[in-house]
Structure 1
Amino acid sequence: MDREATLEQLKNIIRPYVQDQIAFDSLSEETDFINDLKINSANLVDVILDIEEKFDIMIDNESMKQMINAKEAIVIIESELSKK
């Protein structure tokens, strides 16, 4: 799976949790989930669970802490998928 496809799938996962639609419309790899998209920390856990389910991966606690923006999420997703 290429990076653009991963980003598109990630956008579909986070869409229901976004509180700032304008920021979501211009989402890039640098978009911060909490500061830009206004996703609260409880919903961020839901995003991570949805990512695990969608990609059939397990994300450890250390990786969860690093998953603050789209770029880090993609790196973690790709890393976990490469272990399969």
Structure 2
Amino acid sequence: MGNDQHFVQLKDIVKTYLPEDVPIGAIGEDSNFVKELNINSANLVDIVLDVEDAFGIRLENEDMDKMHTVRDALNIITQKLQDKK
């Protein structure tokens, strides 16, 4: 599974938690979860749990602390998947 597929899968997860005033099109690789997508910390935890389920990985608290943008999340997902091999 390539990064593009990871992005599509992550975008599908994130769009579930977007506030009504944020369009799905706003989700880009450089989008900041809190500042641009207006995702609160409770929903960010839900996103992390959904990512763990969707990708079959385990994210630690320090991983979540590094997840500021969609690209950060993609990099962490990619690293965790490589570590599983």
Question: What per-residue deviation string (whole Å, max 9, x for no partner) do you get for residues 33-82 of structure 1?
Answer: 11111111001000000000100100111111001111000000000000
Name the TM-score, length of structure 1 as normaliser.
0.92
Unaligned runs of 5+ in 2: none
**Distance in 2 (alpha carbons) for counterparts of 1:49 and 1:27:** 19
**Distance in 2 (alpha carbons) for counterparts of 1:45 and 1:27:** 18
Shift of 1:3: 1.1
Unaligned runs of 5+ in 1: none
Aligned residue for 1:47?
47
Shift of 1:26: 3.3
Report SS of the residue matched to 2:68. Answer: coil
- The two structures, once aligned, show a CA RMSD in angstroms of 1.0
**Distance in 2 (alpha carbons) for counterparts of 1:49 and 1:58:** 9
Name the TM-score, length of structure 2 as normaliser.
0.91
User: How do 1:30-41 and structure 2 match up within 5 A?
Assistant: 30-41=30-41
Which aligned segments of 4 or more residues in structure 1 are displaced greater than 3 angstroms? Answer: none
**Distance in 2 (alpha carbons) for counterparts of 1:65 and 1:82:** 20
Q: Percent identity?
A: 39
Matching of residue 56 in structure 1 with residue 56 in structure 2: yes
Report SS of the residue matched to 1:30. Answer: coil
